[in-house]
Amino acid sequence: MCSIVEDDFGDEGGAHGMKEDTPQPELAANELCRKCNTEMAVLKLNLKEPQCRMCFLNYVRHKFRASLGSTKVVRRGSRVLIVFTGTPENVTLLDMIRFGLEQDSFKQLRIVPILLYVDDDFIENTDELRLQEFAKRMDVLQQFSSFPSYYTVCGSSKYVEITFKDSFSPAGFEQDEQRLLQVLEAVRSVSSKQDLLEQVHKQTYRKIAKALNCNYVFLSDIGIDLAKTLLSNVALGRGCSLAQDVAFCDDRDDAVKLIRPVRDLNPDEVSNYLQFCEAKLLYRPFVKHYEDKPSLQNLTAKFIDNLQQSFPSTVSTVFRTGDKLDVPKAVQKTASTDCSGDGHDLLALFDKTLTLSDQLAGERCRFCGAVLDYRGSKTLFATEYSRLVSSRINAACSHEEILQKSKQMELDAERAVNGEETNEQQELLKHLCHGCRNIFEDVNE
């Protein structure tokens, strides 16, 4: 039986019971590697034995290869689209893939990699700053010029091949850029803007992957990124897709699977890999749009970053919680359904140029592909009922009027939650999950 009582918690709750991780003893001078016992150790990771340079590189690369080998999701000889961002995690992933392709036949990584640079720097930057950042990212990308590379912008279905012989300057994407900017400008809250951008990015990956005949997309999210995603999606009401958003394989679209092969790495391993790998690698810092503005995602990211500094083991616990979540059965039943919307450009839902008929209705969200979670939800019913009470009940209402209105409000709240109202907006919301509904309802008319 638990012996903790209320008196054990002060004004700060149970925070006094959490102790910061004690710093690990520094690497001693002339200390041998505990793995090979021949070379001098160059680093000591948290809760790990001292390692030499080659043993550490083999350890990190084995993590990457083991994640692919143990799941057996990616088949031999598959064409894999690798999303290029230029961040330290992304460069680490690309270098490990290149190293795996250069091995002998027994240890060789048997995939056909194709790089995709999805440009979204037009959202907040001026044309001058965008060109400067583009040039720096191209310098990072040129380190992997042996891979075929393509360029597109966020929200577009077009792409062009990147050439390194001459100066590369993409053109023809202006209309797609303006369209996404108009949709983002119409969204009121920063949380919805960031959530919309995340969903549009995933749609872009899937569209280009299908155009390039790739069945898999490699993302470079590591453990701390997925911990932020897990907590943020809970706050955003995306619990129905939470398991797939942090899993090794996001298979909600049967044609293109999103793979996270470096999800088991942590920031220390990434930074040390870039320091001790065979050649010095260029990279760009991670920049998130609207990072300086208040939002649920930014607040969660700040919380996890602070947690990583003082309680790094706790971050791993948060991230591993996602492995215990299960995919809703409704998603598994409709796994063959294409969540890209039967070829429709679903960003048009938010600029009101696309309508969905009842013939397209199914068990999955037409925008993100998650299971539709609103029907019969007691939580959503309580929220909607509370909103109706606030708008219809006032101090001037008599007891009889309140009783009469309460019955009608129950019926109205149930119809609103299930999307059974006849107005145009509710007809559209009927095809969206709760998370995407929140984005759409945050759009200015």
Render each residue's pLDDT in the chain as its tens digit; 445 residues.
Answer: 455 544 444 445 445 455 555 555 577 778 888 888 888 888 888 778 888 999 999 999 999 999 998 888 999 899 999 999 999 999 999 999 999 999 887 788 999 999 999 999 999 888 888 889 999 999 999 999 999 999 999 999 999 999 887 777 888 899 999 999 999 999 999 999 999 999 999 999 999 999 999 999 999 999 999 999 999 999 998 888 888 999 999 988 889 999 999 999 999 999 999 999 988 999 999 888 999 899 999 999 999 999 988 888 888 888 888 888 877 665 444 433 445 444 455 566 666 555 555 444 467 888 888 888 777 777 777 877 787 877 777 767 777 777 777 878 888 777 777 766 666 666 677 788 888 888 888 887 6
How far apart are alpha carbons 192 and 235 in whole angstroms? 12
How far apart are alpha carbons 215 and 249 in whole angstroms? 12
DSSP code at position 46: T
How far apart are alpha carbons 43 and 53 in whole angstroms? 8
How far apart are alpha carbons 393 and 406 in whole angstroms? 9
Q: Is 306 within the bounds of a domain? A: yes
In which domain, by residue range, is 317 found? 73-324
Could you tell me if 192 and 272 lie in one domain?
yes
**What local confidence, expressed as pLDDT, does residue 331 receive?**
42
Could you tell me if 281 and 420 lie in one domain?
no
Could you tell me if 121 and 263 lie in one domain?
yes
Residue 168 tokens read as 């590369």
201 Cβ contact partners less than 8 Å away, ≥ 6 residues apart: 118, 120, 154
Q: Is 62 within the bounds of a domain? A: yes
Nearest to 67, CA basis, from 260, 271, 270: 260
If one counts the domains in the chain, the total is 3
Alpha-carbon separation of residue 32 from 29, 55, 304, 419 (angstroms) = 9, 12, 34, 66
Q: Is 224 within the bounds of a domain? A: yes
Question: CA end-to-end span of the chain, whole Å?
Answer: 56
DSSP bridge partners of 117: 84, 151
Could you tell me if 62 and 142 lie in one domain?
no
Judge contact between 40 and 33, C-beta under 8 A.
Answer: yes
Helix axes 312-321, 296-310, angle to 10 degrees: 130
pTM: 0.85
Q: Is 218 within the bounds of a domain? A: yes
Say how far residue 134 (Cα) sits from the centre of its chain.
22
Residue type, 61: R
Q: Three-state DSSP class for 307?
A: helix
* Domain edge (last residue) among 33, 66, 99: 66
Q: Is the dihedral of CA 291, 293, 297, 303 positive or negative?
A: positive
**What local confidence, expressed as pLDDT, does residue 227 receive?**
94
Judge contact between 375 and 442, C-beta under 8 A.
Answer: no
Q: Is 408 within the bounds of a domain? A: yes
Could you tell me if 59 and 79 lie in one domain?
no
Could you tell me if 200 and 311 lie in one domain?
yes
Could you tell me if 37 and 154 lie in one domain?
no
Judge contact between 287 and 121, C-beta under 8 A.
Answer: no
Could you tell me if 308 and 377 lie in one domain?
no
